[in-house]
Structure 1
C-alpha cells in the first residue's frame, strides 16, 4: 500500500525576508516530522515482519502492508502570490514596501496606522481583489492543495473570498508573524484557524470578537535547527577565531543588512569598548566590502560575515545581540538566551516588537550611539546583574520548538490518510473543470480587450462581458453546489 500524499500550500509575499523565513521554518519542521513518521513506520513494520516469520500460529496470511498503513507524505508549495499571480498595478505596488521602509519609514508608519481599521481594510480589499482573484483561481486549480496556509496579512481576506466564491471546502489557516502590533488585515472572518505568537496578539484577536476556539497560541516560527544540540560557547568562539575572555557582541541587520550596522560599529569603535564584534551584513555586499576595507582602522576586534546559514552558532557564540526589531531575529535570540539591544524598528509594524522586548525586560531600545554604548557597558561588565536578569527572562519567553508545534497544528487540519480530498471527489473534479473553464474565459476576455480598438473597449458590450466574469460562478454553478451547502 502506498502512502497518500497531502499537498500544503503556503501563501506569502516577499515584503521583507520574514514571511518566507517563517514558511521555510514550518516547512523544515514538517519534513522532519514526516521523516520521523516514516522511520517509525519502517521500524514497526520490520518488527511485525519478524514476528510473523517466527510465530507458528500466524495462519491468517495478513501481510505487513495490510496490517500497518504507511503515514502520508507531504508535498509543500511556497508561493509569492503577489509576484506570481497578481496583476498590474498591484504586483508593482507591493514592491514599494522595501524602498518605503528604507528611505521613508515614517510614511510607512503613517500608512500602517491609518489603514489599521475595518473601513480602510475593506476598501483596500474591494480595490485589489479584481487584480488577484483569477490568479488565486489559477493557483488553486494548478496546485490542488489539501490545506492553505497564509503567512501574510494582505492575503487573508482575498483568500477567504476566493474559497467562498469557488465553493472550495479547503482548510485555510493563518500564521501571524507579528508579535504585538497585529494589523487589522491579519484576522479575516472565515479562516479556519489562527496561529499566533504571543499573548498580546491573542488578546487583540479576542477583542475583535472572533471565535476563541480557532486561535492557537504556539509562538513564532523559527528554523528547527535552533532546537538542535550545539557546541559550547567556548568551542564556538574558538571556531570563529574569537579572543577568549573578551565579551562578544553580535550585530545583525536582517537579510538585507539594514538596521544601522555601520553606525553601530563606528560608535562602538569610537568608544573603545572592551568587546569584540561579529557583524552579519546579510545581502548588503557594499556594507560587507566597506567593513572589510576599514576594519584595520577600528579600535575593536571585528569578524565580518555576509549572508549566513549558521545563525544558531553565531548567536550561541555571542554574549549580546544588536539588531533591528524584526520578530524573527528577536525570537531566535530569545531561543539562544541572548539579551537584545534594538538599534531600530519599522514604524507601525515593529513598534509592538519594541514594547515586547522592553516590557518583558529581555533587552532595551538604543537608537542613538550614547544609549547603545551605555547599554553595552552595563551588559558586558563582569557579573552584570542586568545580564543575569535578562537571561532569565529570555529563558522564560523563548519557544525554540514553536515551528514543530505549528507544523503539528497544520497537519491536524489535513484530511485523514484514508479520506478523499476535495479534489478527488466527483464534485471536486467537476468543480475543477468549471474553474478551469472560467479561467480560460477570463484569459480570452483579457486578450480580446488588448486587440480591440479603444472606442469599442469603452462600449457597453465589453463592459457587460467583463463584469459578467465576476458573477460566473454564481450563474453557472447549478447543481455543482457542494453537498454540504444544499441544506443552507
Structure 2
C-alpha cells in the first residue's frame, strides 16, 4: 500500500485544517487505497523543544503583532539569508535531524505539506537519503505569502489563485513548479445548515438583531475583549457570539461581563468550537484578525468582515484584498469599531451591498472553484503519486549509477 505523509505544524488552525481536509478528500476519492498519516511534525518527530518554541512564538506573535511585523519584514528583506532552509539549520537543527529521521523511517511515497518548514525538511531528507518521493506544498496564504514559502527543491507548490501564483513567481519560485488549485477547505463549510432563524433561536439569540460573530482563531488571542466590552458597555442592540478558542482568561472575563445587566445586547460565549461554519452562516458580520482561514471561510459563508488587526505582512495582503473588493472593513481601535457598527445599524443598504459584493466575488477565479479545493488538491496528490511511483525505480537506479 502506497504511503502519503501529510505534514503540518499546529500553530493556530491555518495549517492543520487544510491538511485534514486533503486527507478526508483523498479517502473519499480512493477509500482504503493509501496509508495516510497527518502529522504535527515537530511534535511527532520528537523535536519537543522546537515544537513548544514554535507554538509559544505564535502565541507571542498574536499578542504583539507590531513585533511580528518587524520580524516578518526582516525575513523578506534579508532573503535568501532568511530562507526556510537557512533558518532551520541555524535555529532548529534538532527539528531537522529528527524530522529527516522520521521521514526516513516512514518511507513515504509522497509528502504533502501545508507548512514551509515541513516541506523544506522533507526536501533535505530526500537529498540526504536519496529518497524518491514527490514533495507537494500548499501555500496557505491566499493572496500574499512570505519568502519562507520559496524553495525550488519542492516538486510542486499549489497557489490558491493567480494573485498568489504571481507573488511566488515574483519572489523566485520557478513558474513550472506552481499549480493553481484553490485552498483546501473542510467540507462542512459547503453544507446547508438549515434556517438561520431557527439556529439563532436555539442559541438564544434575537433573530431581529444584527449578529456579530467574534473570533481570534483557535488560540483566541487578539482584541475581542476590548471590542466586545465597548459594545456591551454602550448597550448596542446587537447579538454577540464570542468564540474564545483556547483562551480561558477571555472566556472567564466575558462570562463575568455577561452577568452585568444589559437588556439591549445579547451575549453568547463559546470556547473552542468545531461548528464555525454554522456560526458564520447565521452571523451578519464576522469580527476577526486578517488570518487566511478566517477570511476564506467567512467569504464562503457570505459574511462580510470587520478586521481588527493583522499579524505579519501576509495577513495584510488578505486585509488589502478584502478592502479593495468592499467585502470587509478595517477597525483598528474601539472608537473606529463603534462608529462602524452604529453606521451598519443605521444604514441597512451598507451591509446588503457588501453581501452582494461577496456573491459577485464567488463568480471570479478567486472563489469560483473554492468548494472543489480539497478535492482538486487530493486529485493532484494522487496523480503525482502515481506518476512519480512509476518513475521511482528508474530514479533509484540512476542515482546509484551517478
* TM-score grouping bracket, smaller chain normalisation: 0.7 to 0.9
After TM superposition, list the pairs within 5 Å mapping 1:57-456 onto structure 2.
73-85=33-45, 87=47, 90-91=50-51, 93-116=53-76, 117-121=79-83, 123-128=86-91, 130-297=93-260, 298=262, 299-381=264-346, 383-384=348-349, 386-395=350-359, 396-397=361-362, 398=367, 399-415=370-386
Q: Is the 8 A contact 1:129 1:158 kept in 2?
A: no
Task: Give CA-to-partner distance per residue, 1:387-419, whole Å, 9 cap, x none.
Answer: 2332123231432332222222222211269x6
Q: Is contact 1:227-1:401 (8 Å) kept?
A: no
- Report if the CA contact (8 A) 1:153-1:183 is conserved: no
Change (3 A) 1:355 1:137: same
Distance 2:12 2:314 in 1: 12
Q: Is the 8 A contact 2:189 2:300 kept in 1?
A: yes
Structure-1 separation of matches of 2:240 and 2:170: 44
Equivalent position of 1:482 in the other structure? 396
Deviation digits for residues 302-361 of structure 1, max 9, x if unmatched?
111111111111111111111111110111100000000011221334222211221222
Q: Which has the larger radius of gyration?
A: 1
Correspondence for 2:18: 22
Q: Does the CA-based 8 Å contact 1:196-1:215 persist in structure 2? A: yes
d(CA) in 2 for partners of 1:247, 1:92: 40
Q: Structure 1 388/484 Cα, relative in aligned 2: closer, same or farther at 3 Å?
A: farther
Q: Gapped runs of 5+ residues in structure 2?
A: none
CA contact (8 A) 2:89 2:96 kept: no
Aligned-residue offset at 1:88? 7.8
Counterpart secondary structure, 2:286: strand
Deviations 1:125-157 (A, max 9, x none): 442574334323321233221210121122333
Residues in 1 aligned to 2:48 and 2:22: alpha-carbon distance in whole angstroms: 31
1:293 to 1:206, Cα distance in 2 relative to 1, 3 A:
same
Structure 1's unaligned 5+ residue stretches are: 36-71, 428-480
Give, in whole Å, the separation in 2 of the partners of 1:217 and 1:375: 36
Query: 1:368: how far off?
Result: 0.8
Going from structure 1 to structure 2, the CA distance change for 1:287 and 1:166 (only over 3 Å counts) comes to same
C-alpha contact (below 8 Å) 2:111/2:122 kept by paired residues: no
Partner SS state of residue 354, structure 2: helix
Q: Is the 8 A contact 2:114 2:139 kept in 1?
A: yes
Task: Tell whether the 8 Å contact from 1:172 to 1:193 is kept in structure 2 after alignment.
Answer: yes
TM-score normalized by structure 1? 0.73
- For the aligned residue pairs, the C-alpha RMSD in angstroms reads 2.6
> Which residue does 1:452 correspond to in 2?
none
1:217 Cα deviation after fit: 2.0
